[in-house]
Amino acid sequence: MFTGLIIVLLVTVVSSSNNKIPREDTVSPRMVDPYQHAVELLSKHPLIDGHDDLAEWLRGAVKNHLSQVDLSGHVNGSQADIPRLLKGKLGAQFWSAYMSCKSQYLDATRTFIDQIDVIKRFVAQYPIFKYATSADELHNAFVTGHIASLIGVEGGHAIDSSLATLRQLYDLGVRYMTLTHTCDTPWADTCSIPGPPRHGGLNDFGTRVVKEMNRLGMMVDISHVSATTMRVVLNTTLAPVIFSHSSAYALCDNPRNVPDDVLQQMPANGGVVMVNFYPNFINCSPNASLSQVADHIDHIKKMAGVDHVGIGSDFNGIEAVPVGLEDVSKYPDLFAELINRGYSDEELIAIAGENLMRVFRKVESVRDSMSHIPPDDTLIDPQPSETCRPDF
């Protein structure tokens, strides 16, 4: 009798267990609107854009007279202002200090400093911005409700082949330098001049520039350089690199974009390719779409891995924009597209800014490990008479 009762009880327990109500955390999550989900995600995790040329726009539009522009309202002609930055959920911006290659061998250093000055002035003028020079400061600015504002120099001609000037730019707050723009420097090759690389990518002095940037803790930006320069830099640098605003060569064979073999080297280097929005680099034509920008993200993810993708819009430095990505208010639309393509929250957070933060912290770690190394006081070999630099 007791044996039968035990069997009945066991059957009852098993039956009850098999029919129990699922726990709340096993229930499928409610479907949410992709755009709203993107907004919520970017509200909690910083979106870091690697490149915006607002300072260049200010120089062209108002000759850096900030009293003539109110960034707190809609600014006609600009692709960025504070209302649109807030709508776009931007967490941090590398503002580009840029002067064209026409300034090389002339007044490049002075005019780059002009642009650093105007960035610092508009950041100080508007309370929503908070100036940052380190990964920790960037993070702290975001968590206190600010748009972290950092400075990148676009073009190695800014230093006039002087490692001392490079060090002073770091002291002024510059945290990355693009090694070239559309001209070769006396030590590095651009992608914009056809024919064999003049310096084989980098000459000896160019190697010293990269390693001094490593020692300082300044990110090495290899947007704008030739493919040969990209490869040489990756074999030279002691720290991860960035492409502050470049896309995938396989999808648009513009030399400004990154070839697949270079993308495949990114995991070993640890760097990040921050996707550019310029239609000529996205679709090799004056027209492109938000979906095609997402295609470049897909391709870089496929070649390099999701840990090596970021965002580098090039807003205010591009005269044409993709349909759907017309200005800085549109970042959530791009992330909504990635959600529709099946990207996980973890992947979205990485692309938005976590990848760049990892690079930034590693660059700072390499700097700290090199603190025992004295500044490099090497001078570049004498250059042709096109330069007006003093002769030591």
* Known catalytic residue at 45: no
Placement of tokens 């600015």 in the chain: 141
- Give Cα separations from 288 to 41, 121, 295, 386 (angstroms): 26, 34, 11, 40
Q: Determine how β-strand 90-98 pairs with β-strand 219-221.
A: unpaired
Let me know if 154 is a catalytic residue.
Answer: yes
Rounded CA-CA distance 100/112 in Å is: 10
Q: Which of 45, 49, 51, 308 is catalytic?
A: 51
Distance in angstroms (rounded) separating the CA atoms of residues 226 and 334: 28
Burial of residue 311 (CB within 10 Å: 0-12, 13-18, 19+) is: buried
SS3 category, 175:
strand
Q: Which one-letter DSSP state was computed for residue 24?
A: G
Contact (CB, 8 A) for 79 and 135: no
Token pair 């027209």 is found at 287
* Catalytic hit among 45, 139, 181, 199: 181
For residue 376, give the nearest of 184, 206, 124, 248 by alpha carbon.
Answer: 206
Crossing angle between the packed helical segments 108-125 and 163-171, to the nearest 10 degrees: 10
Choose the catalytic residue: 224, 296, 299, 308.
Answer: 224
Phi then psi for residue 272, to 5 deg, are: -140, 140
> Do strands 272-275 and 309-311 pair parallel, antiparallel, or not at all (unpaired)?
parallel
Which residues neighbour 381 within 8 Å (Cβ) at sequence distance 6 or greater?
A: 205
Backbone region of residue 237 per phi and psi (left: phi > 0; alpha: psi in -120 to 50; beta: other values): beta
Residue 40 appears among annotated catalytic residues: no
CA dist 257 and 197 (Å) reads 17
Annotated active-site residue in 154, 295, 327, 354: 154
- Per the annotation, the verdict on 224 as an active-site residue is yes
212, 314, 337, 354: the active-site residue: 314
Q: Which of 49, 53, 160, 354 is catalytic?
A: 53
Active site residue 314: yes
Which of these is catalytic: 146, 245, 299, 308?
A: 245
Distance CA 284, CA 253 (A): 7
Structure token digits, residue 41 = 């995600």
37 is catalytic: no
Catalytic residues: 51, 53, 154, 181, 224, 245, 314
